[in-house]
Amino acid sequence: MPRYDFDLFTIGAGSGGVAGSRRAGSYGARVAICEDSRVGGTCVMRGCVPKKLLVYGAQFSDAFADAAGFGWNVPVPSFDWSSLIAAKNKELDRLEQIYRTMLKNGKVELVEGRGVVTDPHTVEVDGKTYTADKIMVATGGHPTVPDLPGIEHVISSNEALDLPKLPRRIVIVGGGYIAVEFAGIFRGFGSEVHEIIRREELLYGFDDDLRVALAQEMRNRGIEIHTRTQVARIEKFAHGYSVFTTHGQEISADLVMYATGRKPNTRGLGLAEIGVELNHEGAVVVDEWQRSTVPNIYAVGDVTDRLNLTPVAIAEGRAIAETLYNDNPIKMDHGDVPTAVFSQPPIGTVGLTEDEARVKYADIDVYSARFRPMKNTLSGRDERTLMKIVVDAASDRVVGCHMLGPDAPEIIQGLAVAVKCGATKAQFDQTVGIHPSAAEEFVTMREKVVRPTKLAAD
């Protein structure tokens, strides 16, 4: 008789937990997974997927505006927010059912309820205990807000996806990718948007040229970005809300949204009590094999607070399954992971930023191009695309590719393969471009960017 009920018990049925559990089940492991919310997790139910659907919806305002330049006579369009939200919710219901079916077909037992670890081999779910040889924690993260007067009046990205009506005016606090994406969404639907950020530029951690260029394009679209600004308090009035800044400014809005960070979902899971080390943010500390300080307990995805990206969580979960149940030891490689910001216009990036490369390498070459996409010549839109390549001068290896502009995520995905494989700038130059396309610029850039000495030293 087996010593434990299961070989693997996963807490959290999001992308990473589901992927790792299904892979383990496919290798014959006895697997269970528990979830206290909707199956699919943050990405499918409260993040990437519904947000991208809203991004698509918001982009139609550009299409209608650009059509006249190509000979289309388009009547003044109207928009129904409730219809979009209903369609979005229907799609999420469909996806959740697909996830449930995948678990069932993968012979993974779904236990609905909140899981708490009571000892290294036991998980309690709503009063019932389950034992397992290995436990995988895949509980993701949650939005956080600062403690300031009136913070009870704000919403997070979770609520922003299910608003009963479109706000006429909205204040978004935060300069990260979630804030930037929702600023573009609401502006695309016609809302007046104010974005408040503490820093001088948006998207801390991304390449500086992209950060500056995106802010310029967002302002050109009518989004007001308040830099080096912090909120002092929020007050509710009959007309809506007022956000008062530490500069003494008052900004009125129908809605205030905070996107100032996320923290791992570890509170109340019982992990620290059984010896699992958590860092100062509550994230599970893991080694290169995704193991916590309790050797049979593993963790993947946002709950480890490293690279908080859905494909990373999926790869980490699958690596655990391969290592434990397929005699195929795999360490997740967190280097050169591509990512995107579905801002308007979007960003795609892989590898090192220019500043990171200057720290890592003795000498680098930078190539950059800024141009007006062909589509904008007839539409009259003044938006410009930015592309950038960062090269280690000694080896000629391309160590970073960055793009702001239409289809940037789609283009960078292909370039990520080249960067991961160690392609050189000479090999980029030898590659024939597809003409006419924006993507061809990545293989035709020849002029190096010359930075002032002082800037390069910084």
Kindly compute the dihedral angle of the four CA atoms of residues 18, 20, 22, 28, in this order, to the nearest 10 degrees. Answer: -150
CB 228 within 8 A of CB 198: yes
Query: Which residues are part of the catalytic machinery?
Result: 435
Task: Please give the C-alpha separations between residue 48 and each of 174, 341, 419, in angstroms, as whole numbers.
Answer: 18, 10, 25
Residue 411: which residues within 8 A CB-CB, separation 6 or more?
A: 348, 403, 438, 439, 442
Task: At 332, list the tokens.
Answer: 């997740």
Which of 3, 39, 36 has the alpha carbon at shortest distance from 18?
39
Q: Peptide bond preceding 436: is omega within 30 degrees of 0, i.e. cis?
A: yes
Q: What HEC string does 110-155 produce?
A: EEECCEEEEECCEEEECCEEEEEEEEEECCCEEECCCCCCCHHHCE
Cα–Cα distance, 419 to 426 (Å, whole number): 13
Q: Peptide bond preceding 164: is omega within 30 degrees of 0, i.e. cis?
A: no
